[in-house]
Structure 1
Amino acid sequence: MTGSEDTFKPILLLVRDSSSESNTNVYGLIPNRDANLAALILFAILWGWNTVIGIYTKQWWFFTAFFIGCGLETAGYIGRYLSHGDPYNINYFLDQIVCLTLAPAFFMGGVYYLLAKFSMIYGSGVSRLKPMVYSYIFISCDLLSIILQAIGGGMAATALDENKDTDPGTHIMVAGLAVQVAAMSVFGALSFDFIWRVIKMKKKGRTEHPNLSDKELDALIFEPKYAFIRNKEPLYHIFLYAIFTCSLLIYVRCIYRLIELAEGWDGYLILHEPYFLVLEALIVFLGVLSLSIVHPGFVFGRNTSIPVKGLHKKKHFEETEEEKTLEFNESDTAI
């Protein structure tokens, strides 16, 4: 058997040699060294950037989600880079399959929480659900997805190395990805519904109050406490586009991985790395980059507290004593 044939032979047909620790190339190919090194470096840069900006702006939930996500991406591409020189090392393979599978779920965890914050920023009467309901639903789905993908990835990778049946682990991974795709689909629908309700309220308010300026109208129909955030133009609208871009790209990535795993470990997609490099590495990088450049901390402000809680049915929610003491000024909110 030639080296070329061995490189691209379907994973499940490769054999182990008892004279060595492992003679199974669980990839079914040799990972591209330069492409995976480039991904490693780029995600390491994003990791450092989000760490510094997240700590500085004090957006703790978003910081935690993106810190873990970027860290997992960096670790995953370290595994793929090292696998170029040793594609038989099961530890490198486990590192990349688990880390790169889980990372997007953490990114979406950060994005999900932003929708709850928007519910607070606009106030009651706009959101169809209470802010904490968004958090409970989507973050719970995210955690379930993470657990299923982690368990399934570990089971499938171990089964590959031991020449055992990979179907149980693969099915669990597919289930985890399916949960993630379903949650993102519902999230997208609720996000568009939220935007549509904002637009409708603006049109209605303009009809009823034609003489008010845009800022006066905004403060009248939405929560006035956070008007300074909504009035940060054009940054605020660019931020909304960045959220949409990140969500859409990760959604495409999840669909790709769902199809890839559904084909099995010897399927066409998994044995052709260019698909992975574009639909996994590049797409996730661009999605994370969009919300790294237009970071929530730049929009919300460094010392602005936007506590996520339930909304009352009246126009504006009641503030806690702690929130009443918060003072917003240009020096506090400017980056």
Structure 2
Amino acid sequence: MALGPRSHETGTSFYQYDPSLAVAIVTADLYGIAFILTFVQWIRYKSWIWAVMVLAAAMEAVGYIGRCISTQNVTEKPIYVLQFSLIILSPVLMAACCYILFSRILFLVVPRESRTLRLCWVPPRFITPIFVGFDIVALLLQLSGAIMISSASPGDSDSADKVDKGKGIAMAGVIIQLIAFGLFSVAAVRFNFTSKRFSKELEQRYEQVGEKEYIIDGRVRNRHWPALLRVVNLTTLLILARSIYRLVEFSEGSGGYTNKHEWPMYVFDALVIYPCVALFVYWHPGKYLPHLGLRLPKESR
């Protein structure tokens, strides 16, 4: 049932509904497991660039653990700010992971002479810097908006103004993320079709081991890199769907349906974002890609 800010003996709730402890616990458990597995795979494959996803998974797990505590302490500002900020910001880091993976797949699959603007629409070596640059701007705006929203204490005379201004700033960040990520999504999905002609050349460049693997730089890698590309594409679409939900939430203002009901947050954020972490546990980039350090070797650029 939708509620307005509820009065308590110690203050006023930061929620406009009764938050569910049970749902928060289940969500925290799922993200906690995903974080542990992501961390283990990160160490196992020594894919140091994947630290970005490890951090994003940790933010989700800690965010929902914080929400568990917050549901029982609805008037406590610090824990509310913590869980709200972490849950809002972590998908921005996941978007950066998609940019990085797409760039590394492209460098693996496409020969240097074929890495043209016509094929990629963006110079391959600049894919990560350009899109991550947009991501950083989106992150800073969403962080600023989240801080402003969280700083508004229920009952204050200017609380509604702070919340609306904060949501306006956060909405600008989401819009930037949507535009950049939307353009990236089209390029990434298109690459599924344009990359097929390079598959045979890839098999000729590297020594094959059986039907499913080849050797790159002395290490065995899975040859089925299109599976990883499809996971990147799916993750991209899921993050886009979540961003649209947050855009609707921020645009509605504090009196909107999504702000007065809890279920949209779990359905369109928690449930949508979870596969963005979990799928990469099985289809881990370390299985398919070489050069997952912080920088690509010069000979691979």
Give, in angstroms, the shift of residue 38 of structure 1: 0.8
The Cα offsets for residues 188-214 of structure 1, whole Å up to 9 and x where unpaired, read as 122133333223x45xxxxxxxxxxx7
Q: 2:251 aligns to what SS in structure 1?
A: helix
Give, in angstroms, the shift of residue 266 of structure 1: 2.2
Confirm whether residue 78 of structure 1 aligns to residue 70 of structure 2: no
Cα RMSD, aligned residues only = 2.7
Structure (1 or 2) with the greater strand fraction:
2
For 1:308-327, what aligned pairs fall within 5 Å after superposition? 308=296, 319=299
Give, in angstroms, the shift of residue 123 of structure 1: 2.3
TM-score, normalisation: structure 1: 0.76
State the distance in 2 between where 1:115 and 1:226 align. 23
Give, in angstroms, the shift of residue 160 of structure 1: 4.1
What is the identity, as a one-letter code, of the residue corresponding to 2:244? Answer: I
State the distance in 2 between where 1:9 and 1:35 align. 18
Q: CA contact under 8 A between 2:14 and 2:80: conserved in structure 1?
A: yes
Confirm whether residue 188 of structure 1 aligns to residue 178 of structure 2: no
| Unmatched runs of 5 consecutive residues or more in structure 1 | 203-213, 310-317, 324-335
State the distance in 2 between where 1:294 and 1:68 align. 18
Q: CA contact under 8 A between 2:53 and 2:94: conserved in structure 1?
A: yes
For 1:121-136, what aligned pairs fall within 5 Å after superposition? 121=108, 122-124=110-112, 125-126=114-115, 127-128=119-120, 129-136=122-129
Question: Greater CA deviation, 80-89 or 252-261?
Answer: 80-89
Confirm whether residue 28 of structure 1 aligns to residue 16 of structure 2: yes
Question: Which of 271, 274, 278 is matched with 2:263 structurally?
Answer: 274
Question: Which of 238, 253, 257 is matched with 2:242 structurally?
Answer: 253
> Cα gap change, 1:186/1:82 in structure 2, threshold over 3 Å: closer, same or farther?
same
Match of 1:205 in 2: none
> Cα gap change, 1:269/1:194 in structure 2, threshold over 3 Å: closer, same or farther?
same
What is the identity, as a one-letter code, of the residue corresponding to 1:42? Answer: L
> Cα gap change, 1:260/1:104 in structure 2, threshold over 3 Å: closer, same or farther?
same
* Larger Rg, first or second structure (1 or 2): 1
State the distance in 2 between where 1:238 and 1:229 align. 18
Q: 2:257 aligns to what SS in structure 1?
A: coil
Match of 2:164 in 1: 167
Match of 1:232 in 2: 222
Give, in angstroms, the shift of residue 131 of structure 1: 2.5
State the distance in 2 between where 1:286 and 1:163 align. 41
State the distance in 2 between where 1:176 and 1:276 align. 18
What is the identity, as a one-letter code, of the residue corresponding to 2:126? Answer: V
Confirm whether residue 57 of structure 1 aligns to residue 51 of structure 2: no
For 1:85-234, what aligned pairs fall within 5 Å after superposition? 85-121=72-108, 122-124=110-112, 125-126=114-115, 127-128=119-120, 129-161=122-154, 162-164=156-158, 165=161, 166-199=163-196, 201=197, 215=200, 217-219=201-203, 224=205, 228=214, 232-233=222-223
What is the identity, as a one-letter code, of the residue corresponding to 2:136? Answer: L
- Matched length: 282
Q: CA contact under 8 A between 2:47 and 2:292: conserved in structure 1?
A: no
> Cα gap change, 1:88/1:134 in structure 2, threshold over 3 Å: closer, same or farther?
same
Q: 1:269 aligns to what SS in structure 2?
A: helix
The Cα offsets for residues 244-289 of structure 1, whole Å up to 9 and x where unpaired, read as 2221111111111110111012210121111111111111112211
State the distance in 2 between where 1:305 and 1:276 align. 35
Identical amino acids, percent of aligned pairs:
23
State the distance in 2 between where 1:141 and 1:33 align. 35
What is the identity, as a one-letter code, of the residue corresponding to 1:288? Answer: V
> Cα gap change, 1:52/1:112 in structure 2, threshold over 3 Å: closer, same or farther?
same
Q: CA contact under 8 A between 2:32 and 2:58: conserved in structure 1?
A: yes
Give, in angstroms, the shift of residue 306 of structure 1: 9.5
